[in-house]
Amino acid sequence: MDLFILIVILIINTAIALIYLLWGLLRPADKKKDRGHRAKYVMLAFVMAVCPLIGPLFLGVSHLVYLLFSRRDVDMSDVSFSRERVQTYTPADIDRDINITPVREALLVSDVKRRRRMLLDILKKDVRRSLGSIAIALDNPDSETSHYAASVVMDALSEFRGNVQNMLQKLREDPEDAGLGSLLLGYIHEVMEQNVLSGDEKRSYTYLEDEVGDILFFHHQEKMEGQQYRCLMEDLVEIGDFSVAEKWSRRAMKYRDYQLDTYIGCLKFYYTYNDRGAFLQCMERLKQSGIVVNRETMELIRMFQP
């Protein structure tokens, strides 16, 4: 009996699939709306044939849902297919923009409560790149303001020390990791150039920067860029170690003499070291290199030119 029912279902299912296929192939089609309709009906009829009962039910219910919910009039009044360029203007977010205040300006506000509130708004953001400006608030006569700044600077430096220690340990274990070396070199320089470190700690991290640079140079010399040589020279000149800075100037001029940052770093080093001959020779080499010099570099040369 069960076999008889199964045979009947298969016969009815096959008949439905064939009727659907013939109806789809023989009915007149709208070329714009029913493009590729023949292939569609062949595929759907095949699904009905290989999936008895379930296939026709699924397709029938899907089509019913489409008829009930999808055939609605669409408001096309706001849609334009014109190729004319339209320029839109986005108004400024005044509530957000009026709260953006540089640290130096916030410290000049005479009203104590307002100054504290503005400083707190600034300190809520990412302050890693503005530690130098925040450190100015340490000398503010208002004890609350100086306390806010001291807390932020101490937390940022504590995080910096821990990150450098962990990254340096990993780099020493795997000196072939050029990405980690470049990241650590840039991270140390980013904090060094903000002048929040002083004394022996500043010298210590500068020599750590030199160590990281040596690891990169000896293992991935081809990946070191002029900007990295420049950072090393600037930080070493800052602590007055001209002999190590000269090492990096020689390397930079040998391997990256086609990058502008190399010449900027070397010019700063020669000027600070008071080596007039090397300064003029570096300037002449820069002229002959054909490197495009930007306005900032021209101002630097005018300022440093003996």
CA-CA-CA-CA dihedral for 296, 298, 300, 305, to nearest 10: 180
What is the three-class DSSP state of 207?
Answer: helix
For residues 142 and 150, is the Cβ–Cβ distance under 8 A?
Answer: no
Q: In this structure, what DSSP letter does residue 139 have?
A: G
Residue 145 has pLDDT above 70, yes or no: no
Residue 67 has pLDDT above 50, yes or no: yes
Residue 170 has pLDDT above 70, yes or no: yes
184 Cβ neighbours under 8 A, 6+ residues apart: 164, 167, 168, 171, 212
Distances (CA, A) of 79 to 74, 84, 90, 269, 272: 11, 13, 20, 62, 64
For residues 146 and 138, is the Cβ–Cβ distance under 8 A?
Answer: yes
Q: In this structure, what DSSP letter does residue 51 have?
A: S
Query: What pLDDT digit, counting tens, does each position of 218-270 carry?
Result: 999 998 999 999 999 999 999 999 999 999 999 999 999 999 999 999 998 99
Whole-number Å distance between alpha carbons of 256 and 216: 14
For residues 293 and 285, is the Cβ–Cβ distance under 8 A?
Answer: no
For residues 179 and 171, is the Cβ–Cβ distance under 8 A?
Answer: no
Tokens of residue 108, six digits: 């000049």
At residue 100 the predicted structure's pLDDT band, cuts being 50, 70 and 90, is very low
How many Cβ atoms from other residues are within 10 Å of residue 53's Cβ? 13
Predicted local distance difference test score (pLDDT) of residue 178: 92
pTM more than 0.85? no
How many Cβ atoms from other residues are within 10 Å of residue 289's Cβ? 15
Higher pLDDT, 38 or 98: 38
Residue 99 has pLDDT above 50, yes or no: no
Whole-number Å distance between alpha carbons of 178 and 217: 10
CA angle 297-179-175, nearest 5°?
A: 115
Q: Could you state, in order of their start, the residue ranges of all structural domains in the chain?
A: 2-61, 96-206, 225-306
